[in-house]
Chains A and B, each alone.
Chain A
Amino acid sequence: MNRQLLHTPEGVRDIYGKEYAKKICIENKIHEAVKSYGYEDIQTPTFEYFDVFSKEIGTTPSKELYKFFDKEGDTLVLRPDFTPSIARCVAKYFCEEKEPIRLSYMGNTFTNTSNLQGKLKEVTQMGVELINEPSVEADAEMISLVIEALKSTGLTKFQVSIGEVEYFKGLCEEAGLDEETELDLRACISGKNYFATEELLNERQVAEPYRSIILKVADMFGSMVSLAEAKSLVKNARSQAAIERLEKLYEVLKLYGVEEYISFDLGMLSKYRYYTGVIFKAYTYGIGNAVVTGGRYNTLLNYFGKDAAAIGFVLVIDDILEALDRQKVEVKLPDEKQKLFYQADNKVDFANKLAEAKKLREQGIPVELLKEN
Chain B
Amino acid sequence: MSEERYLTFALGKGRLANKTLELFEEIGITCEEMKDKNSRKLIFVNEELKLRFFLAKGPDVPTYVELGAADIGVVGKDTIVEENRNVHEVLDLGFGKCRMCVCGPESARELLKHHERIRVASKYPNMAKDYFYNKKHQTVDIIKLNGSVELGPLVELSDVIVDIVETGSTLRENGLEVLEEICPLSARMIVNPVSMQMQTERIKDLVMRVRQKLAEKQ
Binding site for B on A (CB under 8 A): 117-118, 157, 159, 161, 191-196, 219, 221-224, 263, 265, 281, 283-290
Q: How far is the CA of A264 from the CA of B89 in the complex (A)?
A: 20
Give B190-211 interface residues, CB cut-off 8 Å to A. Answer: 191-194, 196-198, 200-201, 204, 207
Contact A191:B89 (CB < 8 A) given known A221-B200, A286-B68: yes
Q: Is the CB of A287 within 8 A of B197?
A: no
A-B contact pairs, 30 of them (CB 8 A): A159-B197, A161-B197, A191-B89, A192-B88, A192-B90, A192-B191, A193-B90, A194-B90, A194-B91, A194-B207, A196-B89, A221-B196, A221-B197, A221-B200, A222-B200, A222-B201, A223-B201, A224-B201, A263-B197, A263-B200, A284-B194, A285-B5, A285-B194, A287-B194, A288-B69, A288-B193, A289-B86, A289-B193, A289-B194, A290-B194
Please classify the interface of chain B as helix (H, G, I), strand (E, B), loop, or mixed, using the class held by over half of its residues.
mixed
Q: Is the CB of A283 within 8 A of B89?
A: no
Shortest beta-carbon distance from A35 to chain B in Å? 29
Contacting B88 at CB < 8 Å: which of A159, A191, A281, A286?
A191
Residues of B in contact (CB 8 Å), total: 24
Binding site for A on B (CB under 8 A): 1, 5, 63, 66-69, 86, 88-92, 191-194, 196-198, 200-201, 204, 207
Closest to A195 in B: B92
Please classify the interface of chain A as helix (H, G, I), strand (E, B), loop, or mixed, using the class held by over half of its residues.
loop
- Chain A residues with CB under 8 Å of B63's CB are 117-118
Contact A222:B204 (CB < 8 A) given known A191-B88, A285-B198: yes
- Chain A residues with CB under 8 Å of B5's CB are 285
- Chain A residues with CB under 8 Å of B89's CB are 191-193, 196
Shortest beta-carbon distance from A340 to chain B in Å? 46
- Chain B residues with CB under 8 Å of A285's CB are 5, 194, 198
Q: How far is the CA of A224 from the CA of B203 in the complex (A)?
A: 13
Q: How far is the CA of A284 from the CA of B196 in the complex (A)?
A: 11
Among the interface residues B92, B191, B194, B196, which one has the most CB atoms of the partner chain A within 10 A? B194
Shortest beta-carbon distance from B208 to chain A in Å? 10
User: A194-B91, A221-B197, A290-B193 known; 7 other A-B pairs, CB under 8 Å?
Assistant: A159-B197, A161-B197, A195-B91, A224-B201, A288-B66, A288-B68, A289-B86
Shortest beta-carbon distance from B28 to chain A in Å? 22
Q: Is the CB of B88 within 8 A of A283?
A: no
Nearest 8 pairs of A and B residues by beta carbon: A288-B68, A222-B200, A192-B88, A283-B197, A283-B194, A288-B67, A193-B89, A195-B92
Contact A192:B68 (CB < 8 A) given known A157-B1, A224-B201: no
Q: Is the CB of A223 within 8 A of B90?
A: no
- Chain A residues with CB under 8 Å of B191's CB are 192
Q: Is the CB of A159 within 8 A of B196?
A: no
Q: How far is the CA of A194 from the CA of B197 in the complex (A)?
A: 15
Shortest beta-carbon distance from A200 to chain B in Å? 13
Q: How far is the CA of A281 from the CA of B63 in the complex (A)?
A: 22
Q: Is the CB of A193 within 8 A of B88?
A: yes
